[in-house]
């Protein structure tokens, strides 16, 4: 008899995310075991509980989801979970803290519908946040030249360093964008801009968008007014705005949700999967 699908939800926030729980249930999880406010020291016993209860033939019916608003903590939790595994004694695990991996994957997939990313110069505005960092990493992984913009060039340079550890050949540049003319310089020559700024913060003005002659695709991930790129509507999905193909946060959000559900479902196809940004992006490409 097939065993029920059990998902352990490890979340660094006090209360495990309701959003992630609803997606898990909609994706077909039979039993959700939620652990909020999880500490690194608690990971081993919880993971052992998942690994050692069912026999090896049923381990693919148990999986772990790592969420929470703190992405760095999510990465630490993932490392701690992986440390528990040995030989065939493992379960599949998905990292999507703060929705960063699924959102970044959806944004880059939207861009790839219109551009050959290997031949694209891209600017990522607010590339220092959890979502922006993964957008930059995924674009670089696809061979794009990526300009990482931040109010602080040092923060942008730190992110470039982190990405280079994973992708030594990445073509990256750190730029400061603390005013409108610096934003204009940052997008000059780029065919793609992805704005990954905090909710309710406008990063790029109407004038910036209109003056960006090289731009072919503009994607804004902030749904909270004012949106990140003035002139883009949060619901835009491949909307043509003065010759630029535009996506807003909700326009990308539908793909993000599909990827999130598919990633949960994929967890239960094997007991050896580790789904981080690149694996989630690859899954999203298969859904296109």
Residue 63 is encoded by which pair of tokens?
């999986």
Closest contact distance (angstroms) between CB of 57 and ligand NAP is 36
Binding mask 199-238 for ligand NAP (x = CB under 6 A): x-x-------------------xx----------------
Question: What span, in angstroms and rounded, lies between the C-alpha atoms of 160 and 49?
Answer: 38
Question: In angstroms, what is the minimal distance from the CB of 183 to ligand NAP?
Answer: 10
CA distances from 50 to 46, 79, 124, 174 (A): 7, 16, 39, 42
Site string for ligand NAP, 38-77 (x = CB under 6 A): ----------------------------------------
Give one DSSP letter per residue of 266-281, joined into a string.
Answer: HHTT-S--EE-HHHHH
Backbone angles phi, psi at 103, to 5 degrees: -70, -45
253 vs 250: CA distance, rounded Å: 5
Cβ–Cβ < 8 Å for 196, 127: yes
Q: How far apart are CA 212 and CA 46, in angstroms?
A: 51
Residue with smaller CB distance to ligand NAP, 42 or 184? 184
The one segment of 41-49, 51-59, 165-173, 247-255 that binds ligand NAP by CB under 6 A: 247-255
User: Of 62, 98, 142, 266, which lies in the binding site for ligand NAP, with binding defined by CB under 6 A?
Assistant: 98
Task: Give the up-direction half-sphere exposure of residue 239: CA atoms within 13 A in the CB hemisphere.
Answer: 17
Contact letters for ligand NAP, residues 143-182 (x by CB under 6 A): -------xxx--x---------------------------
From the list 11-19, 34-42, 127-135, 185-193, the region that binds ligand NAP by CB under 6 A is 127-135
- What are the distances in angstroms from CA 57 to CA 4, 5, 87, 263, 273? 13, 13, 14, 21, 15
Least distance to ligand NAP, CB of residue 235, Å: 11
Q: Least distance from C-beta 233 to ligand NAP, angstroms?
A: 14
Residue from 253, 273, 280, 284 touching ligand NAP (CB under 6 A): that is 253
Tokens of 115: 């551009």
Query: Binding residue for ligand NAP (CB under 6 A) from 21, 109, 131, 259?
Result: 131
């Amino acid at each position: 008899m097939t065993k029920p699908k059990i998902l352990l939800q490890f979340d660094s926030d006090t209360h495990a995310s309701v959003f992630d729980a609803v997606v898990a249930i909609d994706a077909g999880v039979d039993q959700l075991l939620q652990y909020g406010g999880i500490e690194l020291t608690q990971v081993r016993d919880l993971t052992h509980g998942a690994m050692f209860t069912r026999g090896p033939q049923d381990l693919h019916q148990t999986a772990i989801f790592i969420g929470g608003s703190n992405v760095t903590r999510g990465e630490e939790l993932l490392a701690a979970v992986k440390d528990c595994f040995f030989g065939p004694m493992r379960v599949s695990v998905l990292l999507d803290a703060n929705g960063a991996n699924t959102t970044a994957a959806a944004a880059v997939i939207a861009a790839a519908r219109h551009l050959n990313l290997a031949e694209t110069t891209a600017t990522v505005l607010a590339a220092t946040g959890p979502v922006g960092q993964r957008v930059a990493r995924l674009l670089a992984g696809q061979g794009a030249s990526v300009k990482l913009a931040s109010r602080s060039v040092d923060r942008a340079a730190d992110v470039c360093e982190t990405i280079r550890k994973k992708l030594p050949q990445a073509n990256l540049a750190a730029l400061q964008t603390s005013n409108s003319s610096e934003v204009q310089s940052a997008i000059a020559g780029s065919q793609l801009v992805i704005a990954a700024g905090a909710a309710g913060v406008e990063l790029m003005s109407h004038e910036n968008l209109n003056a960006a002659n090289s731009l072919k695709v503009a994607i804004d991930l902030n749904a909270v007014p004012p949106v990140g790129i003035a002139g883009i509507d949060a619901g835009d999905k491949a909307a043509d705005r003065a010759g630029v193909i535009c996506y807003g946060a909700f326009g990308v959000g539908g793909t993000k949700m599909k990827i999130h559900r598919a990633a949960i479902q994929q967890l239960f196809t094997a007991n050896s999967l580790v789904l981080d940004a690149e694996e989630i992006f690859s899954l999203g490409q298969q859904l296109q």
